[in-house]
Amino acid sequence: MKINWSEHEALPDGGIPMVRRLVFGQNISCLHLTASEPGPLELQPHAHDNEQWVVVTAGSIHFVCEGEEYELKAGDVAYFPSGRRHTATRVGEDGAVLLELSAPARLDLVPGSLVPSAMRFD
């Protein structure tokens, strides 16, 4: 099944300066994120039980996982194991487009969901 991201409604921003669109199956979710403005992100470090893979398809973005910082550019992939503290800290000069794959699926992001947030903050 082909996913056409433009056919999926953007999620509420939730304080994140990115356009977010979500698709999900029974066991995995895929969040398409677009950040058109470069600069710092003010996202709190967090953890969740979901395993998470991030695939950068355009631009670049900086992440921190367990105190180690990474710059991910187009074509790079990052893996955040379940329970590891991580955050995105900065969008590169050309913006960023990325896919965030989570297993199990992040049903807490589905509009109207009654599932509690998967995010755990300090």
Cα torsion at 22, 79, 74, 42 (round to 10°)?
70
Q: State residue 22's pLDDT score.
A: 97
Q: What is the pLDDT of residues 17-73, one digit of tens each?
A: 899 999 999 999 999 999 999 999 988 999 999 999 999 999 999 999 999 999 999
Is residue 90 over pLDDT 90?
yes
Structure-block tokens of residue 13: 């921003």
Structure-block tokens of residue 79: 């893996």
Domains of the chain: 13-107 (2.60.120.10)
Place of tokens 């710092």: 40
CA-to-CA dists, residue 27 to 10, 11, 56, 64, angstroms:
21, 20, 22, 26
